[in-house]
Structures are given as C-alpha cells and as structure tokens.
Amino acid sequence: MQKTALLIFFLAAFNIVTFSQKLFSINGKLRDGGSGETIIAATISVSGRKTASAISNDYGFYSLSLPAGKYTLKVSCIGYKPFNQPIFLSKDTLINLSLEQATDKGILNTVIVNATKKNDIGNPEMGFTHLDLKEIATVPVIFGEADILKTLQLLPGVKSAGDGSAGFFVRGGTAGQNLILLDEAPVYNATHLFGFFSVFNSDAIKDVTFMKGNSPAQYGGRLASVVDVKMKDGNDQKTEVSGGIGLISSRVSVDGPIQKNKSSFLVTARRTYADLFLKLSNNKDINGNQLYFYDINLKANYQLNNKSQLFASGYFGKDKLGLGNQFGIDWGNQTGTLRWNYIASPKLFSNTSLIYSNYKYNILLTNDKTVFHIQSSIKDINLKQDFEWHSNNKSIWHFGVNTIYHGIAPTRFIGGNDSDNYTQEKETRFGWENALYTNNTTQINSLINIDYGLRVSAYSLLGQGNYNIYQNGQETGMVSLSQGQMGKTYFNIEPRFSSSFLLNKNNSLKFAYARNTQNLHLLSNSASTNPTDQWIGDSYNIKPEIADQISIGIYKDLQNHHYELSVETYYKWMQNQIDYKDGANLSTSTDVESQLLFGKGRAYGIEFYLKKKQGRLTGWLSYTLSRTERKINGINNNQWYDATQDQTHNLALVGIYKLSNNWSLSSNFVFYTGNAVSFPSGKYSIDNETVFYYTQRNGYRMPDYHRLDLSATYTRKKRKGFESSWVFSLFNVYGRENAYAIKFQDDPNDPSKTQAVQTSLFRWVPSITYNFKF
C-alpha cells in the first residue's frame, strides 16, 4: 500500500512538473488603438488550435496557456478590425494588444459573424444582454436623449412601469428588485425629471451588461436583474470633445490624456434648462418656479506599470422642482469608486474596489408661516476584493469577498413656525452586509459548457436603535441595540448554475438555475419608482427576500448569422415578498413596518426574441407572455392575486434602416397589457364627504398601453476631425392618450354615481438634437 501511494504521489508530482514545464502563459490587456480604452469581450484565439482561446474580461485582461513554440494570435471584436499577432513563446509572456476600429462594412460584418458564433450560441450564460451603445443612440425616446434604461424596456422579459417613469419590471420582480450599478456603485434612484430621463449620460458610458436573474455569483443583493454600467476610462492618446444640444437639455463631454499612454481623464456634464425659459415670464407665479436636473461624471486613471493600474470615478446628480415658495423637492445620487487593477500572475487577475453611494431627497412645504421639511436618505460604503484565475484554457475561476456598511435614514418630518416646532424623526438604521463567492466557467468538451457558483451572504443589524416586533399586525415587544452592537443576523446560501449544449454549429440548448436574496427593500405607494420611495433593511420583522428561478432556452443563428433567434421559458418562486395593509400610509406612519404584510410570490412566462444584425435594415422583435402573482395573508382573503407589475402581453418592435451614408431612420412600437390596479367597489358618505372602499387587491386593469415612435438621423461627412449629426424624433406618433393614472370622483351631474377620470401625460412630443464630436 505504501509503495502504491508513493507511486501515485510520484506520478502526480511528475505530471504537475511536466505540465508546468510544457505550458507557458500569454497574458495582458486589450486596448483600443485610437483611444487607449480597454476592450471588453474581445476574442483571442490561436491559429490552428481550436481549444486555445480566451475572452477579455471587464477590464480588458486575457490569459492563454500554450506549449513553447511559434504561434499566431488572432484577435477579433465587434466594431474592430481583426488583428493577427505572431509570437514565439518560450516563457510566460505579457503582451498588451491593441485593435483599430473598423470602418469597412465588409470587415465589420465578418467580425459580427465570428463574434456571434463564438460568444452567444455556446456561452452557458442565460438571460444576458450586452447592449450596443450605437443601437441605443438610434432608438427613438422621449425628448430625443439616448437612454439606456428606456432601451432595456424593449427587450423580452423587461416591462415598463409606464410614462413618467424609468422604473422597469423584470420577470415578475418589482422596480426595487433591480440592481443598477455604475462603476460598481449601486444607484438607488436611476431617474431624472420623475422618470423622463435616466441618470446615465450615454457620452460617459463604455459598456452595459444586463442580466435577468441568472447572474454569476459575484453579483448579489437583488432578486430580479442586474444592470452593470461601466464608464469610459478616457482617451490617453488625444483630447476629444463631444456633446449634444436638445430642446430641453444639453450635454458636453471632454476626455484626454493626462500623460500620454499612461493616464487619462473624463468629464461629462448634462443639464436641462426649462427653468431658464420660466424666468422670462412676467408672471411672478411662473418666473419663480424651478424645474431642472444636472449630472456630472468624472473619471481618471493612472497606469503604474504593465501590471498595475489605478482608477477613480464619480457621479454627482441632482433634480430640483420648486413652485414658488410653497413647495419644493430635490433629490439626487452621489457615487464614487476607487479601483486598483493588478495582474498578480500570468493566470491571476485582481481587482480591489472601495465604493461609496448616497441617495437622498428633501421636500419643502410652506403654508402661511408654517414650514415643513420631509427628508430621507440611504448611504453605502463598500469594500470589494475580486480575483479571476485562468486555471487552464477551458476553465476560469472568479472568487472574492464583499463587505458593505449601510446607513438608512427613513422619512423624517420637521415642521414649525415662529412659536412652535414639531419633529417626527424615525431612527436611522444601520446594517452590515457581507458576502463570499466563487464561480467557475468550464468547457467540458466541444459541445458542453457550464457555469456554476456559490454565494454565501450575511446581513447583520447594527445599533444604535430600537426595533419594534410585530405579530399579526400587533406590537408585541421591542429590542434595543446600543451603538455598534450587532443584532439579528440573516445567513443565506445562493447557488447558481447554467449550462449550454451545442445541438449543431447554429443551435444550442441552455438551462439555468439561480437563487438570489435581497436584504434591502424598496417601499413605494406606486408601481413605478418615485423620488420619495423609501429603502429599508432587514429587521426583526422583515426577513430577506428570496427568489429561486429556473429557465430553459433554445438559441439559433439563422441565415449565415444574419439573424439570431431565442426562446426562453422561466419559472420563479419567491419568499418573504412585501405588500401593504389596506389603507396603509408609508409617509405618515411612525413605524412603517407596522404597515407591512409578508407572503410568497410566483412568476412564469415565455420570451421570444428575433434580431436582424446585418444589412440596411436591422432591429429586433421581442414578445413576452407571462404572469406574476402574490399570496399574502391579510390580502384578498389569503388567495393568490395579480401583482401590480403583472402584464400578460408585452410586445416591442424596433427597426433601424440606413437610407444612405448620411441618413438613417428608426422606429419602435410597444404594446403591453395594463398594470393590475385596485379600483373602488363602492362608496359611502361621512359628513358630506365621499369615501371609497375597496374589496379586492389589484382586481382591475389599467387600459392597454401602445405607442409608436419615429426618428431620423442626418450624419454629416467627417471633416478635419469634426463629426456632427442631427436627430429628429417624434414620440407617440399617432397621439395615443395612454393612461398615467385614473381617479374616481362623484359625477357632478349625479352625485349618486361615480365618475372615472383618466390622466394622460403626453400625446405628441417632437424633439430635435444636434450632436457633435471633435
């Protein structure tokens, strides 16, 4: 036995030694040759070796292992010219590669075909979309501003919360169950101007990845989806200026080298100016009003050496609405990220991040001599350490740790006059969220790829604070925590798995399962996101929300990769879902937890997606058939009922047609079933005041929503480095009066009857935008 053990040990040691002697690593970063920006999702393969290939990660890093010898690296990425790099490998070698942007149509189509074949069909990831920023710029939206979140709502499985909101629902989730990241920092309210704009200035964005519930283990904290937005790093070769001038907003962006080939910066700014026109009025009731938003993106980076790079980025945004001296509201996000990239070894990549996020709102109400302030905020400090290890050409490991300190200040009322003051302040809650994760992507053979991972998370309550405990809506006790004292801790284990099986070179079958948990919860009196929505953490009454999702899909490349087709079906079951008691008021309640009820949910559906990727006419068709339901004791006689975000049918059709080198046309048509709502079942009168009563939660529907938008873009020929274009768009072409809200009142002609009054926001909204770059 000892001899056998020694022989096995010797053979294993010999294999390890010979393996390490025979294989060497090629690694480095991929960059844009014109700007120095790192390139994400480029393919690096080796001529003549089918099993040797790599994909550049979110920071442009790649790694390959090969025996000693002469090779030719083949590098390709959508939008860039293919590039071949001869090498002689005799030791571990660091090679930073650069690609030039493609302008020739034939070259571009070839790259699209190859990238589609390698990255989409065989990739085990399900529900993933990498948004094309050029496509986003052509999709017509309200006020003519390119908008990432509005474009997301044209994808299958994603449903709009309606006009006047950038909120969206994904596979039965609420608007608060989407994790929105900007350079790794969470954005708690991603809207400007009550949802007509998102916080993302397209001039500052390099990459957008969207994941529908089946995200890798490095992502966590939300049930429904992840929107991972990465800012540009800045051009380290030359200074560039770009921007746009629209009817109600303008933007400008400047980026360039601090030290050529070593460091760069990016500054973008955007502002609306409707308030400037109000000041021109002679009416004091008008010229004293305020209505605007602004945002600023900042980023800088410095390359310490070939293996190490530092980044610093920030976002600062604010909205302001004021009606004279009687009413005012302002809200905004602030984020900051410090990041250190380090190539620790030829196979190991490290990313260390320190992240800050802060969202707050303030409301001012004035009545005669009485002034009221209503305030709320949520603040995060987050430290992350992520590793990526290329164990071999067929296996990549991701693992890391994440710790977040949350400070949540619920609604605070301050009011008074010269003789009396009033304060109702809900205690600030503190939480400590931690997570460990590991995730592996492996190519089993030429037909099967798998991705599996595990995330272990914990959320702890931190003092100082008093926590009321409720049972069946009645207060039964209180737990007091001193400053810094740790209270109840919730532990969760979140497994993830996905796989792909190639049926042939153009077809694949995929399966995925994922569990996600959520420790922060968005409380809102409406279906869409509003500036005054409240975030609240786990407590002795509120447990982490949990969602398990399984999905199966088939994917096809059609007509020599000119088209792609996918059909996915999913089923999701959810625990500890939150809804509100009948008559709940989240704003005035002294303890909002007393207004909450908890139960379970389910969502299921099928999604169709057909995209045309080449030719003069491109675009896509998406359709979703789905149901979303909740079952919560104390609501609807404890029976299943439609969730507010339930939309049975959801259709989007997007078309982009290139008329010539100068002109292009685009359009989108959307249709979806109206949201489930609660309408009154009857009414009664108290002291001559009509009171409506409700018997069934979400038992009625808003009218179906549909709309057609058109736009035309004229691009002038580039001259002496100057580029410009005009974008003409029309939102809601045929003037459909889609319902924003429906309220009920006594019929003025017969008070015994009830009248429903529909409010619509817009019929037609034309816009013109001038874009430039030099």
Indicate whether 683 pLDDT > 70: yes
Report phi then psi at 192, rounded to 5: -120, 155
Give a yes or no: residue 314 inside a domain.
Answer: yes
Give a yes or no: residue 743 inside a domain.
Answer: yes
Q: What pLDDT does residue 711 have?
A: 94
Angle at Cα 247 formed by Cα 246 and Cα 248, nearest 5°? 95
CATH number at residue 474: 2.40.170.20
Name, in order, each residue with C-beta under 8 angstroms of 480's C-beta and a sequence gap of 6 or more.
463, 465, 466, 467
Please report, as a single letter, which amino acid is at residue 647: Q
Say if residue 399 is in the same domain as residue 507. Answer: yes
Overall average pLDDT of the 600-617 stretch: 95
Indicate whether 112 pLDDT > 70: no
Say if residue 117 is in the same domain as residue 179. Answer: no
Give a yes or no: residue 93 inside a domain.
Answer: yes
Q: What pLDDT does residue 595 have?
A: 87
Average pLDDT of the chain is 88
Overall average pLDDT of the 547-558 stretch: 96
CATH number at residue 101: 2.60.40.1120
Provide the 8-state DSSP code for 176.
Answer: G
Residue given tokens 């309550």 in the structure block: 461
Instruction: Select the more confidently predicted residue: 301 or 699.
Output: 301
Instruction: Select the more confidently predicted residue: 426 or 313.
Output: 313
Token digits of residue 405: 């300190």
The last residue of a domain, from among 103, 121, 139 = 121
Give a yes or no: residue 404 inside a domain.
Answer: yes
Q: What pLDDT does residue 350 have?
A: 97
Q: Are 382 and 356 in contact (CB under 8 A)?
A: yes
Q: Are 459 and 85 in contact (CB under 8 A)?
A: no
Q: What pLDDT does residue 528 have?
A: 60
Say if residue 265 is in the same domain as residue 352. Answer: yes
pLDDT interval class at 529 (50, 70, 90)? low
β partners of residue 690: 685
- Of 350, 400, 360, 401, the residue nearest 380 (C-alpha): 360
pLDDT interval class at 108 (50, 70, 90)? very low
Q: What pLDDT does residue 276 have?
A: 77
Q: Are 349 and 62 in contact (CB under 8 A)?
A: no
Indicate whether 307 pLDDT > 70: yes
Q: Are 266 and 230 in contact (CB under 8 A)?
A: no
Q: Where are the beta strands (DSSP E) in 482-532?
A: 486-504, 507-518, 520-523
pLDDT interval class at 61 (50, 70, 90)? very high
Token digits of residue 197: 């704009």
Checking 133-137 for CB contacts under 8 A at 24+ apart, the result is: 133/202, 133/205, 133/206, 133/207, 133/208, 135/618, 135/656, 136/202, 136/208, 137/202
pLDDT tens across 704-742, in order? 999 999 999 999 988 888 999 999 999 999 999 998 888
Residue given tokens 């420790």 in the structure block: 519
The last residue of a domain, from among 82, 104, 121 = 121
Overall average pLDDT of the 196-225 stretch: 94
Q: What pLDDT does residue 117 have?
A: 40
Say if residue 647 is in the same domain as residue 712. Answer: yes
Say if residue 357 is in the same domain as residue 484. Answer: yes
Q: List for the chain the helix, strand, coil content (%; round to 5).
A: 10, 60, 30
For CA atoms 394, 548, 183, 169, give the dihedral sign.
positive
β partners of residue 370: 367
- For residue 464, cis peptide bond before it (omega within 30 degrees of 0): yes
Angle at Cα 679 formed by Cα 673 and Cα 682, nearest 5°? 150
Residue 178, class by beta-carbon neighbours within 10 Å (0-12 exposed, 13-18 middle, 19+ buried)? buried
Task: Give the H/E segment covering residue 152.
Answer: helix 148-152
Q: What pLDDT does residue 105 have?
A: 53
Indicate whether 353 pLDDT > 90: yes
pLDDT tens across 426-479, in order? 788 999 999 999 999 999 998 999 999 999 999 999 988 889 898 877 888 999
**Judging by DSSP bridges, how do beta strands 43-46 and 49-55 pair with one another?**
antiparallel
β partners of residue 319: 293, 331
Instruction: Select the more confidently predicted residue: 190 or 761.
Output: 190
Give a yes or no: residue 167 inside a domain.
Answer: no
Q: What pLDDT does residue 79 have?
A: 84
Say if residue 47 is in the same domain as residue 191. Answer: no
Lowest mean pLDDT among 102-116, 255-269, 308-322, 480-494: 102-116
Radius of gyration of the chain (CA): 28
* Spacing of C-alpha 65 from chain mean position: 34
Token digits of residue 408: 């949540």
β partners of residue 437: 400, 455
Give a yes or no: residue 460 inside a domain.
Answer: yes
Go through the chain and tell me how many residues it has. 774
Give a yes or no: residue 262 inside a domain.
Answer: yes
Q: What pLDDT does residue 20 have?
A: 46
Q: What is the largest CA-CA distance in the chain?
A: 102
Say if residue 504 is in the same domain as residue 365. Answer: yes
Indicate whether 489 pLDDT > 80: yes
Indicate whether 296 pLDDT > 70: yes
Report phi then psi at 508, rounded to 5: -145, 155
**Structural domain count of the chain:** 2
Say if residue 715 is in the same domain as residue 646. Answer: yes
Q: What pLDDT does residue 527 have?
A: 58
Say if residue 206 is in the same domain as residue 113. Answer: no
Q: Is 693 helix (H, G, I), strand (E, B) or coil?
A: strand
Q: Is 533 helix (H, G, I), strand (E, B) or coil?
A: coil
- In percent, how much of the chain has pLDDT > 70? 92
Say if residue 264 is in the same domain as residue 373. Answer: yes
Angle at Cα 680 formed by Cα 679 and Cα 685, nearest 5°? 155
Of the CA atoms within 13 Å of residue 576, those in its CB half-sphere come to 19
Say if residue 329 is in the same domain as residue 432. Answer: yes
The last residue of a domain, from among 121, 148, 163 = 121
Q: What pLDDT does residue 416 have?
A: 67
Say if residue 70 is in the same domain as residue 194. Answer: no
End-to-end CA distance of the chain: 76
pLDDT interval class at 142 (50, 70, 90)? confident
Provide the 8-state DSSP code for 154.
Answer: T
Q: Are 599 and 632 in contact (CB under 8 A)?
A: yes
Q: Where are the beta strands (DSSP E) in 587-648?
A: 596-612, 617-632, 641-642
Give a yes or no: residue 608 inside a domain.
Answer: yes
Indicate whether 656 pLDDT > 60: yes
Task: Give the H/E segment covering residue 113.
Answer: helix 105-116
* Alpha-carbon torsion, ordered 623, 525, 542, 594, to 10 deg: -150
Name, in order, each residue with C-beta under 8 angstroms of 502's C-beta and a sequence gap of 6 or more.
121, 122, 446, 447, 448, 508
Indicate whether 133 pLDDT > 70: yes
Q: What pLDDT does residue 104 have?
A: 55
Q: Are 66 and 49 in contact (CB under 8 A)?
A: yes
Checking 84-90 for CB contacts under 8 A at 24+ apart, the result is: 84/47, 87/26, 89/24, 89/26, 90/24
What domain range includes position 30? 23-121
